[in-house]
């Protein structure tokens, strides 16, 4: 019996390790390729670890292109991802409170609208939205990448509503009876209780905005405005670069923030999704 149990456990770990290797190998390959000597990256593509370690790729890659270093691009990404995350997280929790706790005329209608936007793919409204922002004179600025997020993001609103519904209503009611205003209840009672779900949405939002390629690709036209993802795409175009080492080095750097956030807060992310049962 115990032997059978041990065999099953070994089989379980064997399967998991195999899957993990397949899952993580491309990522590790990218990481270690950035430490290989640039001219040998593709020649020794079969080896995971470099035969000769070097950090030259990072130095070469960091120089960037068109007179702008990757420092500029990373700073731009930080600005765009940071501001849009602040907007998305706080507007979403505010909106979610309205849906979760206040009964008012039209709330069902607007909630349905929110569910529609949850399923509406961005690609479908990409062209007309571009025309709208062009008319507003927003192309070539960060406004199209930031402003829409201050009107809430359906995914986070839905997540927040689900979370708020699990908080007993009596808490709000008691505070209201004690003379607390509606906004006071939201600010002093609901917001502190929602910290876990706010963290989850903040991390998701930051990672998604950081990685966003389509938005910057459509709206940014000057190299000094490029975000890291857009810069990386242009940097990796075969016509502009054949320095594979530098390309891998910058690719690695571009996913470092997301990986750090994920590793530090993976409990929030994995459980955040697992408890609300939502897509990602």
Q: Any idea which residue has 């003379």 for tokens?
A: 179
The one among 27, 55, 66, 260 contacting another protein by CB under 8 A: 27
The one among 16, 49, 66, 171 contacting another protein by CB under 8 A: 16
Candidate segments 28-36, 65-73, 75-83, 165-173, binder of another protein by CB under 8 A: 28-36
d(CA 60, CA 243): 9
Phi, psi (5° rounding) for residue 65? Answer: -150, 170
User: Please, which residue, 54 or 117, has the CB nearer to another protein?
Assistant: 117
CA pseudo-torsion sign 22, 27, 28, 34:
positive
d(CA 31, CA 112): 44
Which of positions 190-229 make contact with another protein (CB under 8 A)?
207, 211, 213-214, 218, 229
User: Please, which residue, 66 or 132, has the CB nearer to another protein?
Assistant: 132
CB atoms within 10 A of CB 73: 27
d(CA 214, CA 238): 20
Question: Which tokens go with 255?
Answer: 């996913």
259 binds another protein (CB under 8 A): yes
The one among 67, 105, 178, 195 contacting another protein by CB under 8 A: 105
Which of positions 237-256 make contact with another protein (CB under 8 A)?
244, 247-248, 251-252, 254-255
d(CA 251, CA 241): 14
Burial 225-258 (b: 16+ CB within 10 A, else e): bbbbbbbbebbbeeeebebbbbbbbbbbbbbebe
Candidate segments 49-57, 65-73, 172-180, 264-272, binder of another protein by CB under 8 A: 264-272
The one among 30, 83, 176, 199 contacting another protein by CB under 8 A: 30
10 binds another protein (CB under 8 A): no
128 binds another protein (CB under 8 A): yes
42 binds another protein (CB under 8 A): yes
Size of the site for another protein (CB under 8 A): 87
């Amino acid at each position: 019996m115990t032997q059978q149990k041990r065999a099953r456990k070994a089989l379980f770990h064997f399967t998991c390790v195999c899957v993990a290797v397949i899952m993580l190998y491309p990522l590790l390959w990218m990481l270690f390729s950035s430490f290989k000597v640039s001219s040998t990256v593709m020649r020794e593509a079969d080896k995971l670890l470099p035969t000769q370690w070097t950090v030259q790729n990072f130095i070469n890659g960091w120089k960037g292109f068109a007179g702008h270093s990757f420092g500029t691009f990373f700073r731009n990404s930080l600005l765009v991802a940071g501001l849009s995350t602040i907007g998305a997280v706080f507007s979403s929790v505010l909106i979610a409170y309205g849906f979760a706790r206040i009964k008012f005329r039209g709330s069902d209608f607007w909630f349905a609208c929110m569910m529609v936007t949850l399923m509406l793919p961005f690609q479908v409204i990409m062209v007309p939205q571009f025309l709208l922002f062009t008319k507003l004179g927003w192309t070539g600025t960060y406004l199209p990448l930031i402003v829409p997020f201050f009107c809430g993001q359906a995914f986070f609103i839905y997540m927040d509503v689900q979370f708020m519904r699990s908080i007993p209503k009596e808490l709000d009611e008691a505070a209201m009876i004690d003379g607390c205003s509606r906004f006071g209840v939201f600010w002093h009672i609901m917001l502190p209780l929602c910290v876990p779900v706010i963290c989850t949405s903040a991390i998701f939002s930051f990672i998604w905005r950081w990685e966003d390629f389509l938005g910057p690709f459509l709206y940014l036209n000057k190299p000094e405005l490029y975000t890291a993802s857009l810069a990386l795409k242009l940097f990796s175009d075969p016509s502009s670069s054949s320095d594979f080492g530098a390309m891998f080095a910058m690719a690695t750097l571009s996913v470092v923030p997301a990986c750090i956030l994920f590793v530090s807060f993976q409990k929030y992310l994995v459980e955040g999704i697992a408890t609300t049962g939502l897509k990602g």
